[in-house]
Amino acid sequence: MAGSWQWSGESNIPQYWSWLTTQAASRDLTLCQTESLSGPIRLIDNADCHIARQDKLLLQIEQELISLSQTDFHQLKRTHAKHLVFPLASEMLCRNLVDVPAWLSSLPSLRPLQVLAYGEGHYQQWRLLNKMQKTCGIIHWLSIKLDNQAALSFCFCRSYRGFRKSEKLLKAWQQLLERECPSQALDFTALFAANPLVAENPELSQIPGNPEIAVQARSWLKALLSGACSNEHGIILDVDNEYLHQYRVNMRKARSLLSLCKGIFVETQQRSFAQKLTEWMQQTNALRDLDVHLQDLSNYKLILPAHLQSQADELQRRLHDKRKSALRSVKRLLDSSRYQRERQALLEETSRLTLGPKGHKHAYQYGRKRLFKQLGKIFTLANRLDEQSPDNDLHQLRIALKKARYLAEFFQPTKTTKPLLKLTSWLKRLTQDFGQFNDACVQQLALQAWLEEAKADKRTSVDYHHALNLLLLNYQAQKQQYKLKIHQHVTKLRDPIHQSKLLATM
């Protein structure tokens, strides 16, 4: 085959899985296979091997396309299941794909792609998950045998979001492969080069001394906005829905900082800044909601009786279709020149926000007063509630608690006292419990909407309607259970003795 690829005998990679699993367990990580493809494989290139001459391969296995280079392993997501008919112009191929690498989209349009070789292939994707089931690292393993060439295995490891435990483990495995499989064709030395998908973890560092609140807030806003933007590439590649979640968390914290600290900057600037953050978050709402629903799909089959469990697959198919549309919309936003221009302008504006009437106040004295006031608002909201209060009133209390949590995290003094740490921990636990109730409310509303949608579609089966009804009843019952727990918190919040204890942590 043309190009500088070196074909060697089958490596001994499979024997290391047990070693890797053992090492992962010792670091509180689990190794989970998330994808496996086996079957006929086709090597795709044009007549003069333009792709191979760039030390790259383009392979098709089942209905997936995989691009392979000396430093990259990229599985291309098909937008539909139509078979590719060769010869094929490169622009036609790229038009039917998402996440197209730049080198593939830049192929000469006058050189149609052809199938140069046939063979057998096996692809596996493994994920390292932490206790919270977050993806810490991914391992891709591809074994191919084309025509009369000897079989060869390719392995790529990547750690995500700066998880150090997984990075050390994957590096150790990389070194083991380098020692045991020196004939591998790929260059492992660049394996852990700067990874664009390791998102920035914004450090809300505190300026030494007793800075003015405007100066400190500028620093926090820049860190939060930069942290949000560092997740954009991960959102676009759709590697893990955690990137979108962290993007929104950082945006929400920045927006909360502005809404809680009114008057620290000129009002028109402060309002404009917050409105832009709100606008971007609103455009990601649909995708985030679908991610949350799809995460809960694993519970659906446990809820449904055996004869209706197949309807969960039908719901999953419909939600994935909706998600594809929502993801395309978010990608268009992040890729647009307007968004990139506005994002850069906003990042620059963080250093130029003009001091407002309260901007000169000392940051931590201001923060303590603001937190004290926010706790008072929480007590007032709690005193208005009873067991008959509508869900929206509980939602308002949840938002107030979340803002208090952000304030406590922002304005902790450098040497944090134990009482304030206790307050922060309590607020975190409370917002998590309220979050579970809110998630059940969101699921209930979504299921009601899906049921109405299904009833309007005459093609849907009676079993599908019945399955949605059962799921809806389950989440209604779940919501009531969470509501009982929430009202226990509310009762405590209304207790004057408990209120005094919380205020004493200040």
How far is 78 from 80, CA to CA, in rounded Å? 5
Residue 98: strand pairing partners: 77
70-79, 110-119, 174-183, 198-207: segment of lowest average pLDDT: 174-183
- Residue 436, token pair as written in the block: 């579970």
| Confidence at residue 69, expressed as pLDDT on a 0 to 100 scale | 75
Residue 159: strand pairing partners: 137
The segment with the largest mean pLDDT, out of 109-123, 203-217, 325-339, 455-469, is 325-339
CB-based contact 138:130 (threshold 8 Å): no
Query: Between residues 12 and 392, which one has the greater pLDDT?
Result: 392
Mean pLDDT of the chain: 82
Q: Which of 432, 423, 403 is nearest to 499 (CA)?
A: 423
Per cent of the chain over pLDDT 90 is: 26
CB-based contact 58:67 (threshold 8 Å): yes
Q: Which residues contact residue 78 at a Cβ distance below 8 angstroms, ignoring those fewer than 6 apart?
A: 63, 64, 65, 96, 97
Report the pLDDT averaged over residues 415-424.
66
40-44, 96-100, 119-123, 436-440: segment of lowest average pLDDT: 96-100
CB-based contact 364:210 (threshold 8 Å): yes
Residue 204 has pLDDT above 60, yes or no: yes
CB-based contact 341:494 (threshold 8 Å): no
Q: Which of 259, 235, 85 is nearest to 160 (CA)?
A: 235
| Confidence at residue 280, expressed as pLDDT on a 0 to 100 scale | 96
Sign of the four-CA dihedral 108, 114, 119, 122: positive
Q: Which residue has the tokens 């909360």?
A: 256
Report the pLDDT averaged over residues 442-457.
89
In this predicted model, what pLDDT tens digit does every residue of 296-338 receive, in sequence order? 777 787 888 888 888 888 888 889 999 999 999 999 999 999 9
49-53, 68-72, 190-194, 483-487: segment of lowest average pLDDT: 190-194
Residue 414 has pLDDT above 70, yes or no: no
98-112, 327-341, 487-501: segment of lowest average pLDDT: 98-112
Q: Where are the alpha helices (DSSP H) in 86-212?
A: 90-95, 102-105, 164-180
From residue 209, alpha-carbon distances to 178, 231, 263, 278, 409 in Å are 50, 32, 22, 32, 18
Confidence of residue 399 (pLDDT cuts 50, 70, 90): very high
Residue 147: HSE in the Cβ half-sphere, 13 Å Cα cutoff? 7
Q: Which residue has the tokens 């469990």?
A: 309
- Residue 383, token pair as written in the block: 């005193």
Per cent of the chain over pLDDT 70 is: 86
Query: Between residues 460 and 70, which one has the greater pLDDT?
Result: 460
10-19, 39-48, 423-432: segment of lowest average pLDDT: 10-19
How far is 170 from 155, CA to CA, in rounded Å? 11
| Confidence at residue 408, expressed as pLDDT on a 0 to 100 scale | 85
pTM over 0.85: no
Q: Assign 81 to helix, strand or coil.
A: coil
In this predicted model, what pLDDT tens digit does every residue of 4-43 receive, in sequence order? 333 344 445 556 777 788 888 877 888 888 888 888 988 8
In this predicted model, what pLDDT tens digit does every residue of 229-285 receive, in sequence order? 988 988 988 867 878 988 999 999 999 999 888 889 999 999 999 999 999 999 999
| Confidence at residue 198, expressed as pLDDT on a 0 to 100 scale | 61
- Residue 6, token pair as written in the block: 């070196």
Annotate 289-356 with DSSP letters as a single string: HHHHHHHTHHHHHHHS-GGGTHHHHHHHHHHHHHHHHHHHHHHHHHHSHHHHHHHHHHHHHTTTPPB-
